[in-house]
């Protein structure tokens, strides 16, 4: 489901860049995606909708209509998608070699093939809070050249 949401999350930009996350929701909800049940389709659509701006909220009718477990799945998928979206902020897919590790209360993302992660750090500051809230882990971004614990940790 995460992979499908990741592939489709920006599809709404073909309608309009303004509010494209809401257009993505509409387009995915009103499409029959091969291999997905209607419930899975809704989860994918909502994960795509929440990849930016608002976090999942019960005032959103499509989110409210889900059962509790499905709402948690949407929230976790949206949190992961926001992190992935931040790592590809420039939409150039620079981060091709990525590794992840948990160090105590930190979720460490290491980009092996990127030297300047300034844009990605800014994006993670903007988009990482849902992940940190849901999973209880601080996101740390490093490059392969970064020394553990250096001042360059995000």
Which residue bears the tokens 């992961």?
80
Sheet of 106-111, strands arranged across = 98-103, 106-111, 138-143
Q: Would you kindly state where each structural domain of the chain is located, as residue ranges?
A: 2-87, 98-143
**Would you say residue 114 has pLDDT above 80?**
no
The tokens 């209607």 sit on which residue?
38
- The architecture (CATH level 2) of 2-87 comes to Orthogonal Bundle (1.10)
Query: Tens digit of pLDDT for each residue in 36-72?
Result: 999 999 999 999 999 998 999 999 999 999 999 999 9
Task: Report residue 33: phi and psi, to 5°.
Answer: -90, 120
pTM exceeds 0.95 for this model: no
Helical ranges in the chain per DSSP H: 2-8, 20-29, 38-49, 61-64, 68-87, 118-127, 129-135
pLDDT at position 142, please? 92
Within 10 angstroms of residue 105's Cβ, the number of other Cβ atoms is: 10
Looking at the DSSP bridge assignments, the partners of residue 49 are: none
pLDDT at position 30 over 60 = yes
């Amino acid at each position: 489901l995460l992979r499908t949401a990741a592939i489709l999350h920006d599809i709404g930009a073909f309608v309009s860049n303004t509010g494209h996350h809401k257009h993505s929701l509409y387009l995915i909800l009103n499409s029959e995606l091969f291999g997905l049940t209607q419930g899975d389709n809704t989860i994918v659509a909502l994960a795509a909708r929440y990849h930016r701006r608002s976090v999942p909220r019960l005032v959103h009718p499509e989110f409210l209509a889900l059962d509790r477990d499905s709402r948690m799945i949407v929230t976790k998928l949206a949190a992961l998608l926001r992190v992935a979206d931040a790592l590809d902020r420039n939409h150039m897919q620079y981060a091709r070699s990525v590794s992840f590790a948990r160090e105590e209360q930190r979720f460490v993302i290491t980009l092996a093939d990127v030297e300047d992660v300034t844009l990605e750090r800014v994006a993670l500051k903007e988009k990482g809070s849902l992940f940190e809230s849901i999973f209880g882990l601080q996101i740390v971004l490093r490059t392969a050249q970064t020394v553990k614990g250096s001042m360059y940790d995000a």
